[in-house]
Structure 1
Amino acid sequence: MPVEVELQVVASLLRRGRSLDQLSTGLTLLGVLIGLLQWLLVTPLALGLILSVWLIVTGLWQKYWAFRVAFDADLFALMARDGGADADAQALAQRTSALDQALQNLGLQPADRAGRPWPERQRGALKLLRNQAVLLAAQVLPAVAVILASPWLSFAG
């Protein structure tokens, strides 16, 4: 498979991180709402405060990974698009060198990370996406557990 196709596939996978981020944003806002409700209660519930803080902190942490994933998605798409079907390995190496130089100039990549092969970069970018998904799971699971353990659920059935 040509390198440009692989880069486009990775960019497409990384763009799925946007959906994860949207769900996490909703859960983070739910955490804010739960926290505000705790302040309105005469006797705040410890579980509510803990859940609120957990949803907000993991949501903000996930947002950091979402920014990194989105940035990598754009870079991979750019490298795939600029290559074209008739690009050779030398042209890709030149574009990679230019990308590394730009990232170094902006302080986004240390000099010792320059020149890495694209398969290594792909694994690294997909690891960022996995980190984002793990943080989303860390947000979802406690929220679902609290909902299922809530006493009002027994009245609904």
Structure 2
Amino acid sequence: MPADLELQVVASLLRRGRSLDQLSTGLTLLGVLFGLAQLLMATITPICLILSGWLIVLGLLQKYWALRVAFDADLFTLMARDLERTPDLDQALQNLGLQSAKRAGRPWAERRRGALKLLRKQAYLLVAQVLLTLAIILASPWLPFAG
């Protein structure tokens, strides 16, 4: 596969991080609402309050990785058009303090692995949020009264 096509495919994969981020944002807002609801209730369930807090923390961490993945998606799209400008990209990243000088000139295969690793981290945090949401549902005080 030509290098420019490979970079386009990686950029397309990285853009899927936006969908992960949107779902995570919804779960984070759900955690905020559930946490506020716990504070407004007559009796506060500490475990539910702690779980909603963790849901928010995971959402914020996921948001950080989503920003990094989106940035890499843009860079991969840009560089797929002209791989000859890799030294210019490295210099720009160094000037902005986003890359150390020793990381300049890395092969694109290594950069690709790093970018996809960021996407996996983002996905893992989303999975943790989903599992935590299920834990909140199961720990909710109203669950025994359902049905």
TM range (shorter): over 0.9
Q: Which residue of 2 aligns with 1:56?
A: 56
2:32 corresponds to 1:42 = no
Q: Report the more deviating stretch, 130-139 or 36-45.
A: 36-45
Over the residues paired in the alignment, what is the CA RMSD in angstroms?
1.4
Give runs of aligned pairs for residues 1-150 of structure 1, distance below 5 A: 1-80=1-80, 82-83=81-82, 92=83, 94-148=84-138, 150=140
Given that residues 59 and 129 in structure 2 are in contact (C-alpha distance below 8 angstroms), is that contact kept between their aligned partners in structure 1? yes
Q: Which has the larger radius of gyration?
A: 1
Q: Could you tell me how far apart the structure 2 residues matched to 1:11 and 1:18 are?
A: 12
Q: Report the more deviating stretch, 55-64 or 147-156.
A: 147-156
Q: Could you tell me how far apart the structure 2 residues matched to 1:129 and 1:116 are?
A: 19
Structure 1, unpaired ranges of 5+:
84-91
Q: Could you tell me how far apart the structure 2 residues matched to 1:152 and 1:38 are?
A: 12
Q: Could you tell me how far apart the structure 1 residues matched to 2:141 and 2:34 are?
A: 16
| 1:156 shift after superposition | 4.8
Q: Could you tell me how far apart the structure 1 residues matched to 2:137 and 2:143 are?
A: 8
Q: Could you tell me how far apart the structure 2 residues matched to 1:53 and 1:154 are?
A: 23
| 3-state SS of paired residue (1:42) | coil
Given that residues 11 and 77 in structure 2 are in contact (C-alpha distance below 8 angstroms), is that contact kept between their aligned partners in structure 1? yes
Q: Which residue of 2 aligns with 1:86?
A: none
Q: Could you tell me how far apart the structure 1 residues matched to 2:136 and 2:69 are?
A: 30
| 1:57 shift after superposition | 0.4
Q: C-alpha deviations, 1:13-70, integer Å up to 9, x for none?
A: 0000000000000011011101111111122111221111111100000000000000
The number of aligned residues is 147
Q: C-alpha deviations, 1:97-150, integer Å up to 9, x for none?
A: 000000000111111110000000000000000000001111110211332454
- TM-score by length of structure 2 reads 0.94
Letter of the structure 2 residue corresponding to residue 75 of structure 1: L
Q: Identity over the aligned pairs, expressed in percent?
A: 76
Q: Could you tell me how far apart the structure 1 residues matched to 2:49 and 2:133 are?
A: 12
Letter of the structure 1 residue corresponding to residue 69 of structure 2: V
